Amino acid sequence: MSDNGVSDNDISRRRLLATAGATGAAGLVLGGAGGAGVYAAATGSGASPDAKALASVGSTAAPFHGEHQAGITTPLQARGHLVAFDLAPGAGRKEAAALLRRWSAAARTMMAGEPFGDTDSGVALDAGPSSLTVTFGFGRTFFARTGLNSRRPAALDPLPDFSSDHLDARRSNGDLWVQIGADDALVAFHALRTIQREAGDAARVRWQMNGFNRSPGATAQPMTARNLMGQIDGTGNPKPSDADFDQRIFVPADGGAEGPEWMAGGSYAVVRRIRMLLDDWEKLARGEQEKVIGRKKSDGAPLTGGSETTELDLDKTGPDGKLVIPSNAHARISAPEQNGGAAMLRRPFSYHDGIGADGTPDAGLLFICWQADPLRGFVPVQRKLDRGDALSPFIRHEASGLFAVPGGARDGEYVGQRLLES
């Protein structure tokens, strides 16, 4: 996935936003995440004799401090919670700084597998860290409410209105965004409850969404996840081993064009709740589903042959002279080479929120993608999908958000300190 994207000098941000419109899922079938977590055994030679022994799942820990926040390149976790907050009336920069200080202290403690404070509920006792990550981001409205409009990144300009959106404003955007992931459901809930409690009087929950993925260890060898349509989901993701991975996903150390400098080491998260119209999808024969996607359902291989990781042969035709991968196949339209090299790291959770009043499942994807600039990642792909993605009739975008996720906190810092105290 080489980066030959459109130059900032060729297309202005304003014009791209004005002309963009999309109906697709922005690489919905490409949703896994690469990268290696940092592992720490919770038991060992120095452990207390009466300490509870932990399996590998429970003992795995991600670091709180670092160049980047955890939860971006951390391997997909089994459970996830997304929650957005709005600052309370009258709360400003001072209250926001105190809130991020509390939240960072809580995240640091819980990610180490330890209870937080004397009032800890005990829900996650005995579970270990279980790969817990807590990731914090700022929405566009946060900057006006804290008097920091002059420091708001241009990359937080509102996303365009895509032509098939059915967005619920009550479940979109927000001043603050928190992503929680863990490989144990109780650990994830404990983190969610602690973050909500520590918000105190400074912020109120705007919306919350809950998701899941395959449990680690369910297969003998790690495999790319599947989404609720049954498709292999994550094949085309950029990998941390790629030479240009950091350039595509993270804001450079000097802030660069994606700046400002307080965002160094950070990334921009686009969050979309994408409902899958599963009753309609499941009426299609497997062969028809594969034509919609452009890949085999069994192993994720392109219809043009090979294995899951084989490059798409977009020019190959069959005996009838027609393209083997149809012109409107999702994999074709969302491919980087079809979008000026646009790349984003897709790291979703599936969700199921019961059965709707019409008797259909309220289920789909909590789509989360990461990039150094959404106008060179998410938006170009959505713009291309607007021209006729075969997947569009089977999905519906119901909520949306865009958040600036600053770099990781250094030792002694809290997340966002370089914005709030400089």
Residue-wise pLDDT for 244-261, tens only, equals 999 999 999 876 665 689
- Burial group, residue 55, by CB count within 10 angstroms (0-12, 13-18, 19+): exposed
The pTM of this model reads: 0.88
Look up residue 284 and give its two tokens. 């299609």
pLDDT > 60? residue 165? yes
Q: What is the predicted pLDDT for the residue at 258?
A: 57
Q: Mean pLDDT across the stretch 112-129?
A: 94
The three-state secondary structure class of 122 is coil
Q: Which of 175-179, 234-238, 380-384 has the highest mean pLDDT?
A: 175-179
pLDDT in tens, 175-220: 999 999 999 999 999 999 999 999 999 999 999 999 999 998 888 8
The catalytic residue among 120, 175, 233, 246 is 233
Band the pLDDT of 396: cuts 50, 70, 90.
Answer: very high
The neighbouring-strand residues paired with 209 are 82
* Three-state DSSP class for residue 96: helix
257, two tokens: 């064009």
- Judged against a pLDDT cut of 80, whether residue 72 lies above it is answered with yes
pLDDT category at 110 given cuts 50, 70, 90 is very high
Q: Is it the case that residue 49 has pLDDT exceeding 60?
A: no
Instruction: Provide the CA 196 distance to its chain's centre, in angstroms.
Output: 20
**335 pLDDT band (50/70/90 cuts)?**
confident
Residue 303 has pLDDT above 50, yes or no: yes
Average pLDDT over residues 107-131: 95
Average pLDDT over residues 129-143: 98
Q: CA separation (Å) from 395 to 110, 149, 350?
A: 36, 35, 13
Supply the DSSP string of 169-194, one letter for each residue.
Answer: GGGS--SEEEEEEESSHHHHHHHHHH
Q: Hunting for tokens 């865009």 — which residue is that?
A: 402
Beta-bridge partners for 201: none
Give the mean pLDDT of 54-78.
96
Specify whether 233 is catalytic.
yes
More confident residue, 55 or 123: 123
Residues 6+ apart with CB under 8 A from 209: 81, 82, 83, 171, 273, 351, 366, 399
Residue 387 corresponds to which tokens in the numbers above? 């021209």
Token pair in block for residue 96: 């926001």
Burial zone of 211 (CB within 10 Å; 0-12 exposed, 13-18 middle, 19+ buried): buried
* Amino acid residing at 23: T
Apex 249 CA angle, 292 and 193, nearest 5: 90
What is the structure's pLDDT at 27? 43
Nearest to 388 by CA among 337, 331, 344, 327: 327
Mean pLDDT of the chain: 88
Res 77: pLDDT? 97
H helices of 182-306, where?
Answer: 185-198, 245-249, 278-281, 286-293
